Chains A and B, each alone.
Chain A
Amino acid sequence: MSRLYFEFNESLRIAFAQIRANKMRSALTALGVIIGIVAVTLMGTAINGIDRGFQNSLSMLGDDILYVQKWPWGPVEDWWNYVGRPSIKNEHAAPLNRIIQSTPGSLLEVAVPCVSQTGSVKKNDNKVSNVYILGTTAEFARISNVDYREGRLFTETEASAGRLVCVLGYDVAEALFPGRSPLGDTVAIDGQPYTVIGVLVKQGAFLGLFSFDNQAVIPLNAYKRYYSARRDSELRVKITDKNRMSEAREELVGAMRRVRSQLPGERDNFSINEQQAFKSQLDPVKSGIAMVGLFITGLSLFVGAIGIMNITFVSVKERTKEIGTRKALGARRRTILLQFLIEAVAICMVGGVVGLALTSGVCLAIRAAMPSFPVVFSFNLVLVSLSVSVVTGVVSGFVPAWGASRLDPVEALRYE
């Protein structure tokens, strides 16, 4: 055992002496590994970031909310089966909530009607267009998990009276009231004066497409007064236990059929949507991106590995006589194998560490330049990239090192 330890030490010593003696060569070889490691770890970071952003987006939808809508989320090929469905009405909420309350042990908590369209919000000369105007009831507080930067949601009284009050998304508030609080001030939403009673915290964009900060929430009764009633509503239904999502879904289907007075055997004339629908559609896309990305960047690491293999072959060749001498002095096969493997691994490790340093630098730079892009540089990545570089060293060093360990000592000693 102690012999193996001494041989290991000797191998380390040789490896670093060798790297020192061939600085340029080792540096160039390590460069190949560095590029590979940087590419792979950056890719890993990007994939992590996409994943994180995706999770953030999904959580905006709420993982305990079912959406009752006319159309299902995702692509629909048989549109003719959906287009004839009756609209979802805000008025469905009341009977639905009655059914929920009269069901003992219901998995559903509350149904909240929501109706929306885009509009503009204006304060003096500042105007924000394409704002998502959401009309809802005071119950909205129960289904929304968004925090308020300041202020509050409208109350039951304000809502049923249809008072002109609003809660602004972060970006809208910032655009109209830069650097000051809009609370108590008045904004014009599509021409009607609303008093600002709350501002939401920053939430970011849903899948990078649709900003949740660009919205204004107003009482449903105010909405009905100024906007077309023909638009489809949706019912957002909060469930009590998100681990029993499918049971809750079943219950909701039954309740909605009762509300809609659908006959047995008749197909549902509404859709129940949930974030899972997005997840199951986007997950394959996500893993596809991850696989292709890692494969392509993996190729660059592969090129680096070939460089290592090549340099180890060269190293074995030019030290053939030394190998012969060591064998004559009693070095066994595994000693020689170990020596060259460690040399290859050492170069890879150096490459891995430098590559990792570069990657973390790049990540910091990205985070500084684009704070919204979710860059995730994790400790796992350190482990992964270091083990990848060690494995690269072992794999690419093995063939030449094996060859060296099998050299015939007589031939090796004669080599000039």
Chain B
Amino acid sequence: MVPPVAPATGRIVRPLGPVVIEIEQVTKLYRMGEEVIHALRGVGLRIHRNEYLAIMGPSGSGKSTLMNMLGCLDTPTAGRYDFNGKNVAHMDDDELAEIRNREIGFVFQTFNLLPRSDALHNVELPLIYAGVHKHERRERALRALDHVGLGQRVHHKPNELSGGQRQRVAIARALINNPSIILADEPTGNLDSRTGEEIMALFEELYRQGNTIIVVTHEEDIAHHARRIVRLRDGLIESDVASA
């Protein structure tokens, strides 16, 4: 389902690009002792380049499972998952690591920065795994930090930064490899509401610059920054609408 362009709010909606993610009839089973949990019961979703999408749902709705799947941290039990036209449903660990490294930028609720490394090294990390040379790494990391407004804080360790600044470092890290999608899991969950708004403003800016963003959240306020909201319940998509 494709969201309509130019909703009533008058916000900028970028024209859709080619399809990045396409999943069809995806199911995921977990075995918890004797019990089998159906985390996803047949989910289909198509996400285009230049989309800004929120995935919502109460806990236990399969929201986290879907996010892990979209982020190639996990593979479906059954169903099809194409990422940029490549079937990732049956890839092994290392192939998935490669996709995550090049195509996906993660932003976590708890920031997940390396505590003993400065901002610069944290941002560089995905480039190390991509095999980029030191000078280029440094240059790109500095640019990314500048981009999120932390050009003056590159040698600060995470514990010398505020929560909002830490999340900006994480966002710079997510952007560093020019990923196809940015996948943010409750990005404002550990921030006060004002800082949260600042982070959402940054996402808005990134969206306008042409990034594809998926935000997983349970907060309506946050979800409404997105242009499209997918709601899950009991492992199924309940609704998929343009954001008002």
Interface string of B96-127 (1 = CB under 8 A from A): 01101110001010001010110000000110
Whose C-beta in chain A lies nearest to the C-beta of B114?
A322
Pick from A3, A409, A413: contact of B131, CB under 8 Å: A3
With known contacts A329-B101, A330-B101, A331-B97, A6–B128 Cβ distance under 8 A: yes
* Contact in complex: A332, B129 (CB < 8 Å): yes
Q: A246: CB under 8 A from chain B? A: no
Q: Looking at the assembled complex, report how far the CB atom of B95 sits from the nearest CB atom of chain A, in whole angstroms.
A: 9
* Contact in complex: A3, B114 (CB < 8 Å): no
* Contact in complex: A413, B129 (CB < 8 Å): no
Residues of chain A contacted by B129 (CB below 8 angstroms):
3, 7, 326, 329-332, 335
With known contacts A327-B97, A329-B101, A330-B97, A413–B112 Cβ distance under 8 A: yes
Residues of chain B contacted by A331 (CB below 8 angstroms):
97, 129
* Contact in complex: B94, A326 (CB < 8 Å): no
Q: B133: CB under 8 A from chain A? A: yes
Q: A325: CB under 8 A from chain B? A: yes
Chain A to chain B: the 4 pairs with minimum beta-carbon distance, closest first? A330-B101, A3-B131, A330-B129, A325-B112
Residues of chain A contacted by B134 (CB below 8 angstroms):
6
* Contact in complex: A329, B173 (CB < 8 Å): yes
Residues of chain B contacted by A326 (CB below 8 angstroms):
125, 129
A235 to B184 alpha-carbon distance, docked (Å): 96
Q: A123: CB under 8 A from chain B? A: no
A331 to B102 alpha-carbon distance, docked (Å): 11
Residues of chain B contacted by A322 (CB below 8 angstroms):
112, 114
Q: A257: CB under 8 A from chain B? A: no
Q: Looking at the assembled complex, report how far the CB atom of B69 sits from the nearest CB atom of chain A, in whole angstroms.
A: 10
Q: B74: CB under 8 A from chain A? A: yes
Q: How many residues of B contact A (CB 8 A)?
A: 28
15 A–B contacts, CB within 8 A, in A order: A3-B131, A6-B128, A6-B132, A17-B117, A325-B108, A326-B129, A328-B106, A328-B112, A329-B101, A333-B94, A410-B68, A410-B73, A410-B74, A413-B108, A413-B112
Q: Looking at the assembled complex, report how far the CB atom of B54 sits from the nearest CB atom of chain A, in whole angstroms.
A: 20
* Contact in complex: B173, A21 (CB < 8 Å): no
Residues of chain A contacted by B131 (CB below 8 angstroms):
2-3, 6
Q: Looking at the assembled complex, report how far the CB atom of A254 sits from the nearest CB atom of chain B, in whole angstroms.
A: 77
Q: A321: CB under 8 A from chain B? A: yes
A313 to B114 alpha-carbon distance, docked (Å): 19
A335 to B100 alpha-carbon distance, docked (Å): 14
Q: Looking at the assembled complex, report how far the CB atom of A144 sits from the nearest CB atom of chain B, in whole angstroms.
A: 69
Q: A150: CB under 8 A from chain B? A: no
Q: A147: CB under 8 A from chain B? A: no
Residues of chain A contacted by B132 (CB below 8 angstroms):
6
Q: B12: CB under 8 A from chain A? A: no
Q: How many residues of A contact B (CB 8 A)?
A: 25
* Contact in complex: A21, B94 (CB < 8 Å): no
CB within 8 Å of A: which B162-204 residues? 173, 177
Q: Looking at the assembled complex, report how far the CB atom of B15 sits from the nearest CB atom of chain A, in whole angstroms.
A: 30
* Contact in complex: A325, B130 (CB < 8 Å): no
Q: Looking at the assembled complex, report how far the CB atom of B89 sits from the nearest CB atom of chain A, in whole angstroms.
A: 16
With known contacts A7-B129, A328-B106, A332-B93, A409–B112 Cβ distance under 8 A: no
* Contact in complex: A329, B108 (CB < 8 Å): no
* Contact in complex: B93, A2 (CB < 8 Å): no
CB within 8 Å of A: which B67-92 residues? 68, 71, 73-74
Residues of chain A contacted by B128 (CB below 8 angstroms):
6-7, 10
A17 to B173 alpha-carbon distance, docked (Å): 21
Residues of chain A contacted by B71 (CB below 8 angstroms):
328
Pick from A2, A332, A334, A413: contact of B73, CB under 8 Å: A413
CB within 8 Å of B: which A304-345 residues? 321-322, 324-335
Residues of chain A contacted by B126 (CB below 8 angstroms):
329-330
A137 to B101 alpha-carbon distance, docked (Å): 89
Residues of chain B contacted by A324 (CB below 8 angstroms):
112
CB within 8 Å of B: which A1-58 residues? 2-3, 6-7, 10, 17, 21
Residues of chain A contacted by B133 (CB below 8 angstroms):
2
Residues of chain B contacted by A7 (CB below 8 angstroms):
128-129
* Contact in complex: A332, B97 (CB < 8 Å): yes
Q: Looking at the assembled complex, report how far the CB atom of B151 sits from the nearest CB atom of chain A, in whole angstroms.
A: 22
* Contact in complex: A328, B125 (CB < 8 Å): no
With known contacts A7-B128, A326-B125, A17–B116 Cβ distance under 8 A: yes
Whose C-beta in chain B lies nearest to the C-beta of A329?
B126
A330 to B101 alpha-carbon distance, docked (Å): 4
A410 to B106 alpha-carbon distance, docked (Å): 13
* Contact in complex: B73, A330 (CB < 8 Å): no
Counting chain A CB atoms within 10 Å of each CB, the highest count among B73, B108, B126, B134 belongs to B73
Residues of chain B contacted by A334 (CB below 8 angstroms):
94
Whose C-beta in chain B lies nearest to the C-beta of A406?
B93
Q: Looking at the assembled complex, report how far the CB atom of A402 sits from the nearest CB atom of chain B, in whole angstroms.
A: 13
A335 to B68 alpha-carbon distance, docked (Å): 21
With known contacts A322-B114, A410-B74, A3–B100 Cβ distance under 8 A: no
Pick from B74, B94, B112, B125: contact of A332, CB under 8 Å: B94
A301 to B117 alpha-carbon distance, docked (Å): 34
Q: Looking at the assembled complex, report how far the CB atom of A125 sits from the nearest CB atom of chain B, in whole angstroms.
A: 77
Residues of chain A contacted by B108 (CB below 8 angstroms):
325, 328, 413
A48 to B177 alpha-carbon distance, docked (Å): 58
Residues of chain B contacted by A408 (CB below 8 angstroms):
74
A341 to B133 alpha-carbon distance, docked (Å): 24
Q: Looking at the assembled complex, report how far the CB atom of A81 sits from the nearest CB atom of chain B, in whole angstroms.
A: 76
Residues of chain B contacted by A6 (CB below 8 angstroms):
128, 131-132, 134
